Amino acid sequence: MQMTGNTILITGGNSGIGQGLASAFHALGNTVIITGRNQKSLEAVAAAHPGMTALTLNVDDAADIQRAAQQLIGDFPQLNAVIHNAGMMAEEDLKQGAADVAEAHIATNLLGPIRLNSALLPHLLRQPRAAVLTVTSGLAYVPLSLNPTYSATKAAMHAYTQAMRYQLADTAVQVIELVPPYVRTRLQGERQASDPNAMPLEDYIAETMDILSQQPDVQEVLVQRVHAQRFAEQRGEHAAFFHRMNDMLVASRKG
């Protein structure tokens, strides 16, 4: 991926990994547009980065995606990159049959990026060079038992990204998957934001940007902290990793 001279849309750019990526790409001189549900936090991030644009968007709303896509293409005809980052992560007790929580994950984490990608891809294909970046998770490869639908949506996005890369191989659109490990953000509230076992956000962003800079043709951005999850199956360690990770989580909750 070329790191400068882009016009980049970042969904969920008002917090966490999205905000970190928005700040990093903005610092390199790119034109950055961030979206999110909370107009106040969007405006605060944009105000801290002169020249950054904020646009309210509910990625779980198909009509709002169409509205935003048309506005973006009209206001930013040079738009040539999108980072599908917006997402939600909530715990589920499957014994209670919380289908509404599962459906919310699917609408936000899976249908949202697919719908937005479908709306923007015809425009991106007309650019001299373009990039689509999806944000999945190490949980796409080894799922967390307390977050079954979140893990499933990230596995689905990995498959979607891989298929999209193959379909677009003969175009000027580069397809990149970002695979974060457990990162210190507020995705699951204050507990995650202050968890010493989580990778510091600034470290994740720095390593990710370094990989993108040093490997312009990269297909998967894998920081060192996520390698154990990403390659557990390949190394024949998936079952052991899965039980160790989930047993530790259950034990920590009991403690």
Predicted confidence (pLDDT) per residue in 7-22, tens digit? 999 999 999 999 999 9
Q: Report d(CA 221, CA 219) in Å as an integer.
A: 7
pLDDT of residue 106: 98
Per-residue pLDDT reduced to its tens digit, 102-151: 999 999 999 999 999 999 999 999 999 999 999 999 999 999 999 999 99
**Which residues, at least 6 apart from 67, have a Cβ–Cβ distance to it below 8 Å?**
none
Q: What is the mean pLDDT of residues 80-91?
A: 96
Is 150 in the active site?
Answer: yes
The closest alpha carbon to 61, from 86, 91, 92, 97, belongs to: 86
Distance CA(177)–CA(163), nearest Å, equals 12
Handedness of CA 18, 216, 112, 91 (dihedral sign): negative
Asked if residue 123 lies in contact with residue 73, where contact means CB atoms within 8 angstroms, the answer is: yes
pLDDT over threshold 70, residue 238: yes
The CATH number of the structural domain formed by 7-225 is 3.40.50.720
Higher pLDDT pick, 255 / 128: 128
Q: What is the pLDDT of residue 157?
A: 98
Strand order in the sheet with 7-11: 53-56, 31-36, 7-11, 81-84, 130-135, 173-178, 220-221
CB 54 within 8 A of CB 45: yes
| C-beta of residue 159 within 8 angstroms of C-beta of residue 110 | no
The average confidence (pLDDT) of the chain is: 95
Residue 254 has pLDDT above 90, yes or no: no
Query: Is pLDDT above 80 for 186?
Result: no
CA 128 distance to own-chain centroid: 24
* pLDDT of 193: 78
- Where residue 249 falls among pLDDT bands split at 50, 70, 90? confident
Q: Identify which of 142, 165, 146, 168 has the alpha carbon closest to the alpha carbon of residue 155.
A: 142
Residue with tokens 């967390």: 144
CB distance 36 to 16 below 8 Å = no
- Catalytic annotation, pick one of 141, 150, 182, 204: 150
Cα dihedral sign, 190-194-200-202: positive
CA distances from 45 to 33, 65, 148 (A): 11, 21, 31
Instruction: Provide the pLDDT confidence category of residue 195 given band limits of 50, 70 and 90.
Output: confident
In this structure, of 66-75, 123-132, 196-205, the range with the lowest mean pLDDT score is 196-205
**pTM for the complete prediction?**
0.95
Q: Where are the domains of the chain?
A: 7-225
The per-residue b/e assignment along 48-70, b for 16 or more CB within 10 angstroms, e otherwise, is: ebeebbbbebbbbbeebbeebbe
Give me the pLDDT at residue 255, please: 60
Least confident of 37-51, 122-136, 170-184, 189-203: 189-203
Q: What is the mean pLDDT of residues 53-78?
A: 97
Percent over 90 (pLDDT), the chain: 90
- What's the confidence (pLDDT) of residue 237? 97
pLDDT band at 197 (very low <50, low <70, confident <90, very high): confident
